[in-house]
Amino acid sequence: MLKKRIRLSTIIRIILIGAALLVPCLHLKNYIMRILITAGIYMILGMSLNLVMGIGGMVSLGQAVFYGIGAYSAALITLRLCWPLWSVILATIVISGLSGFLLSIPMGRVTGRYVAIITLGYCEIINLILINWQSLTRGPAGLMNIPRPVTLGYQLKSSNSYYYFVLATVFIVYTAIGWTLNSKLGRNLRAMKEDSIAAEAMGINIFRQKMIVFTMSGAVGGIAGMLYAFNIGYIDPTNFTNVESLAVVSIVTVGGLGSMFGTIIASFVLTVIPEMLRGFSEYRQVLYGAALVLIVLLDHSIPGTRFKRYLSDQTDKVKSKFLQKIARMERKGKNDSAVRS
């Protein structure tokens, strides 16, 4: 039974990947491709937050920091140093990873809502630096004319080629996170989220786990920022405020904490809905907000995963009852035999 379920989810994944690969063949409008690219970028950003929130169990309200740092470092390195793409990617990962590490340092003994407050403050600080360090970032004027990346001697100018670039990145990030979570590190992180006291008693250094998860989250968030900078070609500090952080929090919450696949679906849905509502002009944000509330009320997560969770909840309940019954019967049997002897 378990085998079947695994196979079904693999099939769904393969179908989705296939569909994603075939999208450019439909010759859609540039505008739609751009929406899909944005969705892809949010998928990566969402996964980076889900690492901290869903796996590490800490609410971060400052994910825009990594997004911004990734975008600015990629843009600055490309514009000022003219490094090739692969070095830019590597440098972006290192720089934004470092910024994540920096954020984890005050987290030593901090838990719960205080983590959220620290991340909120960190986001504010970095935003002010981006605005005021004019010699480097050009302040509120922002950085312009960031060229599309060149890879294998080919510039990703068209929407379709950039779409594939983003798609590949989403796939790589998703797979790498999957590997990580299915290892000792993943288990330790989940243990920390479930019960940090018991985890400590098992020899897990909580502070170290926090450092690792924030560094990872920073690196992944930075990749999303880099993709954003290359996509739009223009960045300024207003793109990376707490508003952005909250948008990502809603993506992760809707997709389901700890589920990377849910995050991917949720980023897609939550990027497409506002675009579909464009016709309603000023009521757009109201409708978007209402849609968010509805989704969360209906379920705390999107319909597809809702059904799955309902199923697994039910089987869990039945199983646990069954196990208890067996234990009771065993006990009874033993008691009977004890009485007889």
Residues in contact with other proteins by the rule CB under 8 A: 2, 176, 179-180, 183-188, 190-191, 194-195, 197-206, 212, 316, 319-320, 323-324, 327, 331, 334-335, 338
Nearer to other proteins, 44 or 146 (CB): 44
**Terminal alpha carbon distance of the chain:** 41
What is the signed CA dihedral for 95, 99, 100, 102, rounded to 10 degrees? 130
Other Cβ atoms within 10 Å of 276 Cβ, number: 13
Closest CB 223 distance from other proteins, rounded Å: 14
- Which amino acid, one-letter code, is at 164? Y
Nearer to other proteins, 34 or 308 (CB): 308
* Cα–Cα distance for residue pair 269/221, rounded to 1 Å: 20
Closest CB 205 distance from other proteins, rounded Å: 5
Closest CB 179 distance from other proteins, rounded Å: 6
Closest CB 131 distance from other proteins, rounded Å: 34
Nearer to other proteins, 40 or 258 (CB): 258
- Which amino acid, one-letter code, is at 259? S
Q: Could you give the C-alpha distances from 69 to 62, 90, 122, 157, 197, in angstroms and in order? A: 12, 14, 12, 24, 34
**Cβ(298)–Cβ(290) under 8 Å?**
no
**Cβ(227)–Cβ(40) under 8 Å?**
yes
Closest CB 108 distance from other proteins, rounded Å: 11
Nearer to other proteins, 285 or 320 (CB): 320
Nearer to other proteins, 23 or 204 (CB): 204
Closest CB 334 distance from other proteins, rounded Å: 6
Nearer to other proteins, 80 or 319 (CB): 319
Tell me whether residue 36 is exposed, middle or buried, using C-beta atoms within 10 angstroms of its C-beta: 0 to 12, 13 to 18, 19 or more: buried
SS3 content of the chain, % helix, strand, coil (to 5): 80, 0, 15
Q: Is the dihedral of CA 284, 290, 295, 296 positive or negative?
A: positive
